[in-house]
Amino acid sequence: MLDEGYIKYQSDWTQNNPLPYSAIQELNLWRAKLYQLGLLGAYANGIGFGNISQRWDNKDGLFVISGSTTGNIEVLDEQHYTLVTEVMVERNFLKCSGPIIASSESMSHAAIYEQCPKMNAAIHIHHEEMWQYYLNKVPFTSEDITYGTSEMAYAIANLLKDEANQTLGFFVMAGHREGMFAFGESLKEAGEKLLYFYHQFQKSKANQ
């Protein structure tokens, strides 16, 4: 957990005006739901975890994502989201424009959008027990690969070459303890998939 929250990519961040609230309203609604469940938030030491994104205007390579260090803020607004405009995985390099730098997990979100053209939203959460429950039960990236790196982006892309994994829309990051992703063709679909897996985990826990 000590390694959590730090940006590992190289960035070209242009500080700019925020997007209008209408552009982030649905993102913020889902973010609030997941925050209340503790799937996004911050640890006791103040380091935030979890992030949420949506493809921007159906354009290749562009997506809106919650910013770095926003996990410990209960209610976000326009100042807490940014637009990723270019990602070069091979160089571990990212460009973004907005009032805040993009999340440390932006490379992973970019990999989903690049590999899955039909997918338009992605959500990254943390939950220790849920992570342990689904590890080896659903698709997962190697335990040797940590978060926020080019290696993780390549691993996600490789995982999602399998159409069955794309359809499932949920995977575990074995090398990023507590980390999981859900994604879908819409933010609603991504959110509902995530809630499905969360509630299935809760049912299993209740039946133990």
Q: Which two tokens stand for residue 38?
A: 């503790």
pLDDT means over runs of 10, the chain (208 residues): 62 94 96 96 91 88 93 94 94 94 93 96 97 97 89 96 97 95 98 98 90
The full set of domain ranges for the chain reads 10-206
pLDDT value at position 129?
A: 97
pLDDT value at position 1?
A: 41
Q: Which two tokens stand for residue 53?
A: 């994104």
What's the pTM value of the predicted model, to 2 decimals? 0.95
User: Does CATH place domain 10-206 in 3.30.300.30?
Assistant: no
pLDDT value at position 148?
A: 82
pLDDT value at position 5?
A: 54
Place of tokens 């985990």: 201
pLDDT value at position 6?
A: 64
Which tens digit of pLDDT belongs to each residue from 140-190?
Answer: 999 999 888 899 999 999 999 999 999 999 999 999 999 999 999 999 999
pLDDT value at position 8?
A: 80
